[in-house]
Amino acid sequence: MYKTHYMEAEINWEDVKKKEARGSGDLDLGEVHEIECSDIIVEKGIIDKIFYRIPKSLAINFDGHVLHLNISKENLKKYEIESLAPSITEQLESTTEINAGGGSSGGIQMEDKGP
């Protein structure tokens, strides 16, 4: 567990995962998807998802339910990212699920036709 200070706010970054993110003027940014070294990855939408990579330095505070960020609607577009690569944890979980299935592990089985 680690804490950092940004804009005089102490935030435990593990606590903000899966919590709501809001910008200036109560702007709905979506949900905190992931925390990286210096960035917050925010996911907005259910079907047509949009991801934003927002610097932690824009964090104002976290009240236990909502992460408040110093970002306006006009500046939001510059933080939008095309897609989100799977995290190492997601890759590991995906590989574990595939390998746990048993069977031929996706290989091709050849029939032995004999002589």
Q: Which amino acid is at 88?
A: I
In this prediction, residue 52 carries a pLDDT of: 96
In this prediction, residue 5 carries a pLDDT of: 46
Domain ranges within the chain, ordered by starting residue? 3-98
Tens-digit pLDDT string for the chain (115 aa): 445 444 446 899 999 999 999 999 999 999 999 999 999 999 999 888 999 999 999 999 999 999 999 999 999 999 999 866 666 666 667 666 555 555 555 555 556 666 6
Domain 3-98: which topology?
A: SH3 type barrels. (2.30.30)
Rg (CA), the chain: 20
Helices marked H in the chain — which ranges? 13-16, 73-76, 88-99
